[in-house]
């Protein structure tokens, strides 16, 4: 666990978290969220869908961004204020997603940081958006 204080954060700084999205992740995410849409759970159904195979929940992919800001930059002590996510492409089971948050704007009076956020599978952007957080401060 890391803490990067507001005073030490610069525009352009970034952090990443990468994870292979396993079948177990998708089953557990369905259990926790209640989202049991068959495109996530039913291979026969999913093969007949536009996606051609089971895909991960979009919000599962999005949760990796929360991991970046909540555990790496700014990390421990961060208060998450908002997140926007645009789902650009599906993530299949077994694919490895890398989430990145890049500092785009700093608000010194409120210790807030705006990040541009992105998740990729290889070179393909599967999710993009923005985060706004309240960073821990030395002050």
Q: Which residues of this protein are in contact with its own copies, per CB under 8 A?
A: 1, 17, 19, 25, 28-29, 31-39, 49-50, 57-60, 62-64, 66-67, 70-71, 75-87, 129
**Residue 121, CA distances (Å) to 17, 35, 98, 137 in order:** 12, 23, 7, 33
In the DSSP assignment, the letter for residue 97 is E
CB 33 to its own copies: min, Å: 4
Tokens 């002050």, residue located: 139
CB 46 to its own copies: min, Å: 12
* Distance, CA of 84 to chain centre: 10
Q: Tokens in use for 39?
A: 């495109």
Nearer CB in complex with its own copies: 13/16: 16
CB 72 to its own copies: min, Å: 10
Sign of the dihedral defined by the CA atoms of residues 36, 24, 20, 13, in that order = positive
Nearer CB in complex with its own copies: 65/103: 65
Q: With contact defined as beta carbons under 8 Å apart, do 130 and 60 qualify?
A: no
Instruction: Identify the CA nearest to 119 among candidates 24, 18, 2.
Output: 18
Q: Tokens in use for 32?
A: 């926790």
Nearer CB in complex with its own copies: 18/108: 18
CB 35 to its own copies: min, Å: 4
Nearer CB in complex with its own copies: 17/102: 17
CB 122 to its own copies: min, Å: 19
Nearer CB in complex with its own copies: 12/132: 132
């Amino acid at each position: 666990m890391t803490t990067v204080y507001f005073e030490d954060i610069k525009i352009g700084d970034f952090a990443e978290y990468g994870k292979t999205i396993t079948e177990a992740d998708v089953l557990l995410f369905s259990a926790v969220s209640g989202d049991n849409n068959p495109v996530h759970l039913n291979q026969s159904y999913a093969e007949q869908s536009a996606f051609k195979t089971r895909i991960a929940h979009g919000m599962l992919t999005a949760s990796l961004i929360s991991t970046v800001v909540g555990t790496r930059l700014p990390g421990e002590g961060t208060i998450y204020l908002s997140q926007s996510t645009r789902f650009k492409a599906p993530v299949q089971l077994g694919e490895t997603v890398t989430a990145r948050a890049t500092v785009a704007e700093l608000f010194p009076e409120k210790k807030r940081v705006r990040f541009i956020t992105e998740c990729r599978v290889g070179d393909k952007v599967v999710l993009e958006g923005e985060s706004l957080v309240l960073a821990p401060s030395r002050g």
